[in-house]
Amino acid sequence: MYQLLLKDADTKKDFELVVDENGKPFLKDDPRYISLSHCQDACAVMISDRPCAIDLESLTRVIHDPLKNRIGVQGNDRALAFLMEEEALLKLTGKKMLAKRTPDGMKDVWLGTMTWNGHLVVLAGSRT
């Protein structure tokens, strides 16, 4: 188990990050949810009162054609966004979502995508 000290941006309080037996991070002695992501040159943290997930990747990452064909998405940017959404949904729900991207399968979650400083950032959260 590893530990990391973080500082709450609002309260300036230090809190400790620990991981469970499956490697999922949580805040020790804090009821909020946390999600982490990193790539070669950046990292991201998302903290929420509800279950949440974040994924971060450089916009220069190349998705090769065999993988694009396997997931049925063409274009590098679209494939990258799709795979990152899957990663965020997996972090959020603990389940692969490829077969569940229907209105019924997504009714309890939300997804958001944005670019930041040469990176694509995907956020996911629970509606309940």
Q: Which three-class secondary structure state does DSSP give residue 60?
A: coil
Q: Which long-range contacts (CB under 8 A, 24 or more apart) does 40-43 make?
A: 42/117, 42/119
Percent above pLDDT 70 for the chain: 82
Kindly indicate the confidence band of residue 12, based on its pLDDT and cuts at 50, 70 and 90: low
| 65 or 2: which leads in pLDDT | 65
Give the type of residue at 120: L
Q: Does the CA dihedral 61-64-67-68 come out positive or negative?
A: positive
Give backbone dihedrals phi and psi of 90, rounded to 5 degrees, phi first: -65, -45
Q: What is the pLDDT of residue 54?
A: 96
Q: What is the pLDDT of residue 5?
A: 41
pLDDT in tens, 35-58: 999 999 888 889 899 999 999 999
Q: Is the pLDDT of residue 98 over 90?
A: no
Q: What's the per-residue H, E or C state across 8-30?
A: CCCCCCEEEEEECCCCCEEECCC
pLDDT in tens, 22-37: 888 888 888 999 999 9
pTM of the model: 0.83
Domain map of the chain by residue range?
A: 1-31, 37-126
CB 25 within 8 A of CB 17: yes
